[in-house]
Structure 1
């Protein structure tokens, strides 16, 4: 695949995932928090069945950056840890696989809280 087609595939995949989320917000009574949880669960299910891996190969960051990619990463980590450690891997694998992303989210969230002053909604 050329660089341009890789970028296009990533853009389209990420855009479609965002479009689905926006449609769910506009057309259902689901809250954004429930949609986020739904995306992670769908990523876990598709990752556990091996279907999401094909999407990652095709779309790259367009599939790994959204929350479905986080769920896929959790499923992949658990699968690998279970193969290495047995039952204990079900508890440790997901957190180990997602440790970098979790750390970045906590760090940048803290940094934003320190640098910017929050304001109440009006």
Structure 2
């Protein structure tokens, strides 16, 4: 039960911060998206995002900073395993399933529904 509560609270807090950034600053949703991915990547590179994931689980991996974390942690892992070439393979290996799911679900949505004109 505590794991669900922490996922809800941390994930909700991340979303609240994003909403406040869009409401109280001139940042657009695209700016906030990029900012969150970069912040997640930077925190991951500094070793600070994994403890948040350990605490919040999906509440920290599902929002956008979790994507930045996956990019950086996958790259670090592949660099340690394959050396220089891991720079190119790590982020793709770590995020390929999420990117593919977004593309497939986007295709299905485009085939099933008509956009508003």
Q: Which TM-score band (shorter chain)?
A: over 0.9
Distance 2:91 2:75 in 1: 5
How many correspondences in the alignment? Answer: 117
Q: Deviations over 1:2-27 (max 9, x none)?
A: xx111000000110000000000001
After the TM superposition, which segments of 4 or more aligned residues of structure 1 sit over 6 Å from their partners?
none
How do residues 1-122 of structure 1 correspond to structure 2 at under 5 angstroms? 4-120=1-117
Structure 1 residues without counterparts, runs of 5 or longer: none
Distance 2:10 2:109 in 1: 28
Distance 1:18 1:36 in 2: 11
Distance 1:55 1:87 in 2: 28
Q: Deviations over 1:21-65 (max 9, x none)?
A: 000000111110010000000010011111100000000000000
